[in-house]
Amino acid sequence: MSLEITTVNSTIIISLVRRFDSVTAPEIETELKPVLLDSPKSVLFDLSRTEYIASAGLRVLLSTTRAIKKYGGSVALSSLSPQVRQVFEIGGFTQIFTIYGSREEALAHMREK
């Protein structure tokens, strides 16, 4: 599966997969563990490629975000498609996550912090 992980101005950008569901979530969670070992201070999940997210994907995002925030880090999401954004809205996750319209917008705001 292999997530695309890059760094821009000390923000780790993780581009998620097309389908983030019960099939892909365990592998993604495994791929995220090395990122968490470094206690990152700024992480951006780019969902521009994500067409579908299920509760298993939301659980991975939530647990990863909690782990990052536990050590004083910040997390944001960007580029949610209308379908994915609707899942976040229905589940109340728009109140939990900081969400930006684009990767560039997110990076600009994260750089200001």
Looking at the 3D structure of the chain, how many domains does it have? 1
pTM of the model: 0.94
Of the pLDDT bands very low, low, confident and very high (cuts 50, 70, 90), residue 2 is confident
Residue 40's domain comprises 4-112
Secondary structure (DSSP) of 45-89:
EE-TT--EE-HHHHHHHHHHHHHHHHTT-EEEEE---HHHHHHHH
Q: pLDDT per residue over 19-73, tens digit each?
A: 999 999 999 999 999 999 989 999 999 999 999 999 999 999 999 999 999 999 9
What is the CATH classification number for the domain harbouring 61? 3.30.750.24
